[in-house]
Structure 1
């Protein structure tokens, strides 16, 4: 495989999805585990679209860790940056779903959030060689919640800046990972000063900026080249190189929304690498790039699980040919 053009740093885990819809955590009778974790989802979605990607993160030396690495390798994701921890377990997240299939994070089973292997990602073990060849670094924020993995994020930022990678922050706010909301907001705000692109959900945008207006957020940050704000079935808004727009979502039957935002993000990066960053200055191309990203996200919702349902570029092209926004 060629050197990864996109590096995705953060968590890989099992999303244990409730088999019964519309029930509370304690009422659920059975769960089905699906490989997930936002940065890992993005890496897999990119490879399926045809862009070489690598995942950087930590898993336990346990069977779930083995299975997750196997998933990455079977998809074709570069695993050079995966670290193993001898005692900390691989993270599993329990996810309940409402009757429409929308999900709510419901906890971590018998473990505390601080006990998992992904929190032990070691800064000094990040492979410099990956950064030398890459074009993009995609960061989540969950690892900012833990001292060791927070250092790894800051080291990755240093390497990305040194080797002149574009940096994209996927805010991915999950209160269940954090002890203190105010500390989370401060740490995320610091990272926002160092990135080129930001992707947020509508709820995250309102939480951090008191607005879901992508142009207003771009103006507030004053240092980014693009902001994407997704809002599920209500579509998305964007501001890319001063081109602002709002797109509705594609109307298709939804089975499971897990990972749709991650696939949207992968579709965006894939298209930016196809067209070149400078093309974002052209309004029509910017709109087409976000339309493509929306299609990748939509196609991911028609089957359960975040990774198994991700489309290929040919599937996206066929979908776009038959669906108009």
Structure 2
């Protein structure tokens, strides 16, 4: 099985205990949960039994210690996880509406995750090909953006499959145009691109959706995945496309659904030892992606039935019934 390195932010999700259409109408209480999209993906791979690594920086503080311990307990190798006293671990306050949908308020800049630099990438992490995964939250400022691009380049040099979940949080960006440009800058560097329908609409900027997807495919990715919550997942390559409908479940909290989906997918690809060449071959017969996508959908579906992020992610035994439904 290939190793999976998820790079980026690990932070604390302060999750509301209330459900409200307008959280400002009441006093909310919050409970800490480990979170951060790449950290969630690493935990998802680890809990499924994969060779999971998290690369990033947290504070040398109570929250940072908590994150290191939690990821390790989830089966993640934390040898690539650094701690610093120069900044605190980031916080994200998460309010939920009556259906379990989220809204975020980030306490992040400055924070420890933004201090990771190119020199922190150890050559020893890249001695064998694997899967390198990142999200857009490490593109929000110039220094961490350059670090991310350097990590991608180092991984590509050693034959890693590059996975990019756009996972766009507009309130982390000082200028929306910066977000647009930064995401497009990364697309030629990746093999696997995942985005939700809202992110695709944003990146289309009024252009025809299929034309934009074709443009993306011409730039580099072998496979593009477009998610739409419980409505289904569209998979697209230069050779064809299709869709997968996730199992029907009752949603409690959508906090880590996308990360569970990505983690399940990367676990399945790593188990099959899929690298850039193999993914390109699979893209020629897109239906060959279905087994991995079904595992990914089952992971996402299970996770929304639980509250929280890392603690809600499934082990393989938890999704067996969803795979047979």
Q: TM-score, normalised by structure 1?
A: 0.91
| Deviates further, 244-253 or 24-33 | 24-33
Structure 2 unaligned segments of length 5 or more: list them.
Answer: none
Count of equivalent residues: 316
Are 1:153 and 2:124 counterparts? no
2:15 corresponds to which of 6, 14, 17: 17
Structure 1 unaligned segments of length 5 or more: list them.
Answer: none
Are 1:84 and 2:83 counterparts? yes
Are 1:314 and 2:317 counterparts? yes
| Deviates further, 269-278 or 231-240 | 269-278
- 1:265 CA displacement: 0.8
Are 1:291 and 2:289 counterparts? no
For the residue of structure 2 that corresponds to 1:72, the secondary structure is helix
- 1:212 CA displacement: 11
1:270 corresponds to which of 267, 271, 276: 267
- 1:53 CA displacement: 1.1
Within 5 Å, give how 1:33-72 maps onto structure 2: 33-72=32-71
Are 1:246 and 2:243 counterparts? yes
Within 5 Å, give how 1:1-325 maps onto structure 2: 5-26=3-24, 27-108=26-107, 113-210=108-205, 216-221=211-216, 222=218, 223-240=220-237, 242-275=239-272, 276=274, 277=279, 278-321=281-324, 323=325
- 1:216 CA displacement: 4.6
- 1:240 CA displacement: 4.2
Relative contact order, higher structure (CA 8 A, sep 6+): 2
Residues 155 and 201 (structure 1), Cα distance of their counterparts in 2 relative to 1, 3 Å cut: same
* Residues 55, 82 of structure 1: 8 Å contact kept: yes
* Residues 215, 244 of structure 1: 8 Å contact kept: no
Distance 2:17 2:185 in 1: 39
* Residues 40, 260 of structure 2: 8 Å contact kept: yes
* Residues 45, 266 of structure 1: 8 Å contact kept: yes
- 1:250 CA displacement: 1.8
**What is the CA RMSD across the aligned residues, in angstroms?**
2.0
Distance 1:215 1:274 in 2: 31
- 1:314 CA displacement: 2.6
